[in-house]
Structure 1
């Protein structure tokens, strides 16, 4: 396996199986994972370590159910910036990265907006405070369009490994 960020890392069938299983359940023990991919524990552990060192496995996280924790409102924001300079974009990105409400941030093209954000908050009152006290106070924000998610239809964190 290559170990640089700039090169495409080639993986084999067993590596792909390991990644598929870990994407579905990052809490698998090495023993459980080894059984599922048909390896003994030591080679399985070495492969997982190699995938981590190659930068393919970035970490393991626990997914939480938002609504059961009182985070019932998901908002998609489209943000327009007043100037399209690297400094302005970096300032915006650095500030937004400090907001725990922001789940995703994308710099986009092909729309009137420059950024799309996915934000999770308890309710409309909290969203209003987030919007007015945080987003609109960032230097350079010239426009905000909010769309409110009615229902999550697909919310998938797994990458399509079938293309590898």
Structure 2
């Protein structure tokens, strides 16, 4: 065998060994987690439209809890992250946006908070749009008459969402901030 044939044979053999070598489980898990996070949260750093829904049923006894208070808490954090987009379609600056949905339901001394990231989906064939929830958090508890027991989880979930959203969209957000 000449030298060139030996090098080719070694390269083929090394490629075969590498192809047959299993990827460590940790690396496979990291890859799967990264793919899941990108599916859930990657939007190319789209601006975020807040959507808040508060239901107060019966004699809930919660002081100082209003939809406006929840909206302000969410809006201020989105603005601080430079991701806020208006819920009013006539005021939107872009067609590239995503949604965070906060639903709070209070019945007597109990409450339930559902927090969700909803991606905007466009059908290329019909140009119709819709949304799909891709990331969510929820909690059920009692409030003791104090609205902070309810606002707290909403802001905690939003902070968690923003941390993960900005991490997954980091390169796109850096580019958008440089351009904007």
- TM-score, length basis structure 1: 0.25
Select the structure that is richer in strand: 2
Q: Greater Rg, structure 1 or structure 2?
A: 2
